[in-house]
Structures are given as C-alpha cells and as structure tokens.
Amino acid sequence: MRQLALICGFLLGNFFLLQGQPWFIQGTIENCEEGKILLASFYGDRFNPIDSAVSRSGSFYFILSEEAPTGIYRIIYADRAGGVRSQNRFVEFIFNRENLEITVASTDQGPIPYFEASLENQVYSGFMEFELEYEAQLMRVYGALYPGQGGKDDTYMAAVNQYNVLQSSRTRYMDSITGLYPDLYAVRIMNAFRAPVIPGEMPHRQRIDTLKQCFFSQAAIDDPLLLTAPVYTYKLIDYLSLYKVDTMSRELQEQEFIEAVDQILLQVPEQEKLRGFVVDFLLEGFEMLDMEQVQIHLVDHYLDQACETDLVELIYSRMEGYKRMARGQGAPDFVIRDTEGKNHRLSDLNAPYVLVIFWASSCDHCREMLPELHDWYLQENKPGLEVVAISIDTSSSDFNQYMDKLESQWITSHESLGWHGKVPSDYHIYATPSLFLLDSEQTILARPGSFRQFQRTVKKLPERAP
C-alpha cells in the first residue's frame, strides 16, 4: 500500500511539473446546502463559471492552473438558514497566485468570507468595508449641502465641513495603504476608484461640470489587468450618470450621451482588449436604452477600428449613407451567388427574419463573431432567422481557407471586388463586421454591433409559428 501511495505521489508530482505550479482554493461555508458549489472568474462585465465541486458538509476544494489570471473570483452556492433555502449565494475574493484558505460565515448581513494569511484579501476586504461606510456617511451629509429658503445656516456650514473632512480622510486612507502595499492587486483596484476632491461649498451644477472634466484625472481607464475585476463597469456607469438629465428630451439626451462617449474614449488607450471592452459595453448599454443615435456614433467612430478599411475617402463618402440605413428604413434588395453557384434574391427568401452580415477573413472581430453566430444559427434559432453572409475578401484563397474552417450552413457569398462590390456599395459598408437584421418586408429592425448585442435583439423577436 505504501508503495502504491509513493507511485501515485510520484505521478501526481510529475503531472504538476508538466502542467506548471497549481494553486489551491479551499475552505468551508457555514450553512451550505448539500450540492454543487461553483467557482467563477470575472472578465469585462460578467462572471463565468470555470469549475464546480460537490459538497456535503460545506467544504470545497478547487485547483487553479499556473495560467489562471490574477483577478476577482466568485464562489457561488446555496445555503439554508432558519429553514429558508437561498440559491445563488456568493462571496468574492482576489486570486493572485497564492493558495487560499477561506471560511465563509453566515450572518444577518449575508455571507462574509474570512481569509487565512492572505494579505491581498485582507487589504481588499478592509477597503470594501471602508468604502461602504464612507459612502453611507457621504450620503447622510450630501442632502444638507443644498439649503432651501432658509439659506446657509449653521447646519449647512457643518455639512460642508464634514463633507470636506470625509473626502480628505478617504484620500489619506488610500495614500497610506498604497504606501504600505504598493504592489498588491487589491491596491491596484482601490486606486482605480480614486476621485477628485470637490469642495462641499461648490454649487450642484458646478459640481457636475467639474466632475465631467476631471472624473478620470486620478484614475484613468488605462489598465488592462483590471478587466479581471469589476472596476471599469462601475466607473463607466458613474461617469455616464453625470450626463443624465430627467427633464431633457430624448434627442437632446442622446446628444449628451454622445458627448460622454467621446470623453470616455479619449481616456482609453489604443490597447485592443481594453478599448474593445469599453466600446462593446457602451454599445450594449445604449442598445438596452434603445438609444440608436448613440449606437450609430459608436459604430461610426469607435467600433473595431482595426477592422475598418484604411481607404479614408471611402469612409467619408459612405458614412452619411450608412447613417441613413437606420431602424425602420427599407434595406436595398439584391441578388447574390452563393459558394455552390446558386443565385439568391433577398426579397425571395422564405424567412420571417434575415440577418445580412458583411465580413472579411482579415477582420479579427469577424473571425471571433462568425463561429459564435453560426453555433447560434444551428442550435438556438427559434425565430427561424436566415443568415446571408457576404465576404468582402479580395483574396479568394483567404476566403476559401477561412470557409474550410467554418463549414457554414447558411447562405455565403464572396464579393471579389471587396468594398467596391455592388451590394457593399448599396449598403454603404465601410467597416467590418456590419450587420443588418431585417424582417420579411426588408425593413431594418436593428444593426447589432456585436454578437451579444445581436443575442439581446433577437430574444425580443417572436418565434416563428409552427
């Protein structure tokens, strides 16, 4: 038996040597229900499950590989307290290339994690507790900063003084933690939430205008490593809220948000993942708000700039025409020949909805989107949507090489004249990918800017009658 254990230990040790240093996340959860416990990692604006374990006593054990990124992770489970079962309970923690021992206590305020010998998570927990108390105190004071008819009395002056003291104490707290632990990922997160100090005596309108100008002065959106922590989503929403005016007409509100979008993108460096996340997040947000003019502005100026044609004159000549290809407008009819040599007329397609997509094999965003879209087409296409994919590759070999990998089962056509082909010209295409979702009358229902935006849009469509 001892010999067998030695052999297993030898094999396991060699496995870890081949795979790289493993990291262990383990612990116990008070009042945890028997069943599955999930481990999820964060990226961009969402958590994604990466592992699971079955627990009978609240204990859990996960192994992360050497390649696991530093960032915020989440343990998701169900618990039972006072006879009540609660699903989707969770706690969050920082993983930064260290083994972790976590004890999750069940309290009246919800589950609270405690960490054994993890400076990262102790600093992070301390900052989160400080921030919650700071926000609560700030809100208690904030209402008194705008006196009514009574004028600026002693209550107002006390509120101004306390408001200024609170901001100064927050800055000192952040400075002290940064000085003690400058290399921690928790400190990187904390410093991303730094904010300009606004004098308590400043009038409300001036306060908003000042924040618009200096919101990112101490904490710019410039660190790709923070894409694995829920930081930039909150910052973007906070900044956009400065431009929200409830009494403003929809048209003027969209113009305000367009200004906000331009200010945000000025702060984001030309770093592909970071800039791509910000643009996609803004596109999806304004799609949910049904603000098409902001979406058009994002598509025209920022979407997947690496995939846009470098023919500047072509861009300017087609930009206005592309803007007119808006929701509610009719899409031009066309006839194309597919890769099997069969002709297809758009108006003759027997489908309740049609997605026309212009793409190129040289476009990174296209190569990422098409497989996802194709999987959806084959497995989740409840509305009975037809896809017409038109490649603007000028190289037949590049087109054929990519199509051999995709093995698409929708209508595919290759426009060998590229940007200057008839259908791309009729649709005023100057960037790839460009998508048009049409109904059976060829009316444009939407121009999704990403696969996720397409998913959101298509979920609103009624299913095809049997």
Q: How far is CA 179 from the centre of its chain?
A: 31
**Residue 391 above 90 pLDDT?**
yes
Mean pLDDT of 442-453: 87
The amino acid occupying position 215 is: F
Mean pLDDT of 244-261: 92
Query: Tens of pLDDT along 299-311?
Result: 777 765 434 444 4
What distance in Å separates the CA atoms of residue 130 and residue 136, rounded to the nearest whole number? Answer: 10
> Cβ(32)–Cβ(58) under 8 Å?
yes
Mean pLDDT of 122-135: 96
Confidence of residue 58 (pLDDT cuts 50, 70, 90): very high
Confidence of residue 165 (pLDDT cuts 50, 70, 90): very high
Mean pLDDT of 245-265: 91
Pairing of strands 353-359, 343-345: unpaired
pLDDT at 453: 83
pLDDT at 297: 81
pLDDT at 292: 78
- pLDDT-above-90 percentage for the chain: 55
What is the sign of the dihedral through the CA atoms of 184, 186, 187 and 191? positive
Mean pLDDT of 372-379: 93
Main-chain phi, psi angles of 233, to 5 degrees: -60, -45
**Residue 6 above 50 pLDDT?**
no
pLDDT at 16: 45
Mean pLDDT of 150-170: 87
pLDDT at 316: 61
Q: What is the pTM of this model?
A: 0.68
Domains and CATH numbers, the chain: 21-115 (2.60.40.10), 119-301 (no CATH), 309-459 (3.40.30.10)
Confidence of residue 94 (pLDDT cuts 50, 70, 90): very high
> Three-class SS string for the chain?
CHHHHHHHHHHHHHHHHHHCCCEEEEEEECCECCEEEEEEEEECCEEEEEEEEEECCCEEEEEECCCCCCEEEEEEEEEEECCEEEEEEEEEEEECCCCEEEEEEEECCEEEEEECCCHHHHHHHHHHHHHHHHHHHHHHHHHHHCCCCCCCCHHHHHHHHHHHHHHHHHHHHHHHHHHHCCCCHHHHHHHCCCCCCCCCCCCHHHHHHHHHHHCCCCCCCCCHHHHHCCCHHHHHHHHHHCCCCCCCCHHHHHHHHHHHHHHHHHHCCCCHHHHHHHHHHHHHHHHHCCCHHHHHHHHHHCCCHHHECCCHHHHHHHHHHHHHCCCCCECCCCEEEECCCCEEEHHHCCCCEEEEEEECCCCHHHHHHHHHHHHHHHHCCCCCEEEEEEECCCCHHHHHHHHHHHCCCCEEEECCCHHHCHHHHHCCCCECCEEEEEECCCEEEECCCCHHHHHHHHHCCCCCCC
pLDDT at 131: 95
For the chain, the average pLDDT equals: 87
**Residue 223 above 70 pLDDT?**
yes
Nearest to 53 by CA among 85, 28, 20, 86: 28
Residue with the larger pLDDT of the pair 291 and 301: 291
Confidence of residue 148 (pLDDT cuts 50, 70, 90): low
**Residue 314 above 80 pLDDT?**
no
pLDDT at 45: 86
Mean pLDDT of 29-50: 93
Residue with the larger pLDDT of the pair 466 and 166: 166
Mean pLDDT of 165-192: 97
